[in-house]
Amino acid sequence: MPVTDFLERNRKLYGNEVALVELNPEQKENRRVTWKEYELIQPTSDQPYRREITWRVFDEKANRVANMLLDRGVKKGEKVAILMMNCLEWLPIYFGILKSGAVAVPFNFRYSSDEILYCAELSDVEIMFFGPEFIGRIEQIVDNLSRNRLLFFVGDTCPTFAESYNESVNNYPSSAPLVRLEDDDDGAIYFSSGTTGFPKAILHKHRSLIHAALVEQHHHSTGRDDVFLCIPPLYHTGAKMHWMGSLVAGSRAVLLRGTKPQYILDAVSREHATIVWLLVPWAQDILDAIDRGDVKLSDYELAQWRLMHIGAQPVPPSLIRRWKEVFPHHDYDTNYGLSESIGPGCVHLGVENIHKVGAIGIPGWGWKAKIIDENGEKVKQGEAGELCVKGDGVMVCYYKNPEATEEVLKDGWLLTGDVAMQDEDGFIFLVDRKKDVIVSGGENLYPVQIEDFLRAHPKIKDVAVIGLPDKRLGEIAGAIISIKEGEKCTEEEIETFCQGLPRYKRPRKIIFAEVPRNSTGKIEKPKLRRMYGIEQLVAHENGV
């Protein structure tokens, strides 16, 4: 069954109940609301900008989008892109694309103009929906982008080179389009993070989407009374597939714009959120704000918050130990996945396995996993190798890139590129990215292990370990360290702290600087390698 069936079911069973809420604490000015069904609460001094829609309106809007696309000549399997910030329009447009039989193609909102054009051409996009934040970027490439493509602007003041979505969509019927969807139909294209160059287009069938939805609901027992607080960008598989647990359950979700600790805690309190998915930096910011006294938990209603889970990157065990001290009643889970496996859940810890904090977990519901050596053979338990996963969420291919596809798909198994090991209880621990392993004097150094050690230092807010060039050893471990606000720290302090590591694992270079992370919380190590190459490293040593 296609995932759109759940939306239609929710309309029939829970039509008048709220499906989605948009919160924007930083938006204070009034905005024209063109969807008459919205309930708009104007912001006050202590109230964020807020909109909401019911399941009935959600489904009707998706149907209008689908009927509009069909009227414009979109055929089954053609590609329709979304380039928008999180907002109340995002998911109805996404589901409208799916209902039309087209393939939904979400774009990263951080893409430059060149990347937007590249991804549109790579994925054969026919139509694009874009928001007001992207007018400048689209304008730079509009002569090339608009060739044979229709651009819909989702906002109030439409630029001359696009058509107004708001003025068009309500002219179409809200009845379901007569398009039959099958599990083996192409459903969506997502893009790799592009950290080693321009992104690759990852093609998934509808089978992947429904599998992800069922996995999420199963893992976190999402029920009708739950409220999911969604903060990460919807273009990413992680945020959207976690939200799909709410879709399966028929429960409410809140889209929060903003990641400040006060915003998150206030949203949990006001909206009575029960499930919150955080990235590592946001969880750490909350704990640090509590430690500094910037926020007081007694100011918020948090008793209903039952689950905090983290994904998208390795999770420092020290962070979770701190979290459980502050929020002892919270269940905790971590989710491992990648866009090629339709996002989170192919491996997950499970709330019942808190004693295994540090592991990414066991194969998820409906998934298989194994760890192999360079010859494709399973390694012995306790040995490091490449993690592979298999299940209905594995991608079809890298679109129009058979060579890259062949490198990672082997007999239905997806080679993740992550180095992992399995303990005696069957729990999988992520060692590092295969390409991030540092080979120093013939020894393999795994940056994640060193980062986890360093994060236990009370003054360290964030850390990234990368390989730096060395004439004698080939590479050495360099630690880029971000210090907590109000703290001071020296290289000598870090070197003394690192005496707890085996000598060969100790960082040879300490650099105090901000640690860059992308919008899904992952450390941008290629960027760091460019920043701290040979010339920059010499300059740093010379105090330049």
Give the CATH number of the domain where residue 169 resides.
3.40.50.12780
Q: Please list the residues that pair with 83 across neighbouring strands.
A: 130
> pTM to 2 decimals?
0.81
- Sequence-distant (≥ 6) Cβ neighbours of residue 438 within 8 angstroms: 444, 445, 446, 447, 465, 466, 467, 475, 476, 477
Residue 306 included in any domain: no
User: Of 172, 137, 167, nearest to 154 (Cα)?
Assistant: 167
Q: Residue 441 above 80 pLDDT?
A: no
End of a domain among 141, 169, 203? 203
**Residue with more model confidence, 89 or 467:** 89
Which ranges of 236-326 does DSSP label H, i.e. alpha helix?
237-249, 261-271, 280-292, 317-326
pLDDT on residue 111 = 85
How many other C-beta atoms lie within 10 A of the C-beta of residue 472? Answer: 7
pLDDT for 348-378, tens place per residue? Answer: 999 999 889 889 999 999 999 999 998 999 9
Phi, psi of 314 (to 5 degrees): -60, 140
Backbone phi, psi, residue 123, to 5°: -95, 5
Last residue of a domain, one of 188, 203, 218: 203
For residue 490, the domain's CATH number is 3.30.300.30
State yes or no: pLDDT of 529 exceeds 70.
yes
Looking at 203, 238, 265, the residue that finishes a domain is: 203
Q: 69 lies in which domain range?
A: 50-203
Structure confidence at residue 312 (pLDDT) = 62
In-domain check, residue 382: no
Strand order in the sheet with 460-470: 460-470, 474-483, 509-512
- Domain membership of residue 428 (yes or no) is no
CA pair distance 229, 239, nearest whole angstrom: 10
Picking from 522, 211, 217, the residue whose alpha carbon sits closest to that of residue 389 is: 211
Confidence at 443, pLDDT banded by 50, 70, 90: low
**Residue 417 domain flag:** no
> Is 245 a domain residue?
no
pLDDT at 250: 97
Query: Span 528-543, mean pLDDT?
Result: 57
- Contact of 93 with 49, CB cutoff 8 Å: no
Q: Rounded to whole angstroms, how far apart are CA atoms 212 and 242? A: 8
Q: What are phi and psi of 155, to 5 degrees?
A: 180, -170
Q: How many domains does the chain have?
A: 2
Q: At which residue do the structure tokens 């093609």 appear?
A: 203
Take residue 209 and report the two structure tokens written for it.
Answer: 């989407």
pLDDT at 33 exceeding the cut of 50:
no
Whether the Cβ atoms of residue 63 and residue 7 lie closer than 8 Å to each other:
no
Averaged pLDDT of the chain: 88
Residues 6 or more apart whose CB falls under 8 angstroms from that of 176 comprise: 8, 63, 66, 99
The predicted-structure confidence for 514-526, as pLDDT tens digits, reads as follows 988 876 667 887 7
> Which of 145 and 62 is assigned the larger pLDDT?
62
Q: Give the CA radius of gyration of the chain.
A: 24
For residue 486, being part of any structural domain is answered with yes
255 occurs within a structural domain? no
Q: How much is the pLDDT for 434?
A: 65
Q: Of 71-75, 385-389, 526-530, which range is least confident? A: 526-530
User: For residue 392, is it within any domain?
Assistant: no
- Label residue 163 exposed, middle or buried (CB < 10 Å: 0-12, 13-18, 19+): middle
Helices (H), ranges, 309-392: 317-326
How much helix, strand and coil, in percent to the nearest 5, is found in the chain? 35, 30, 35
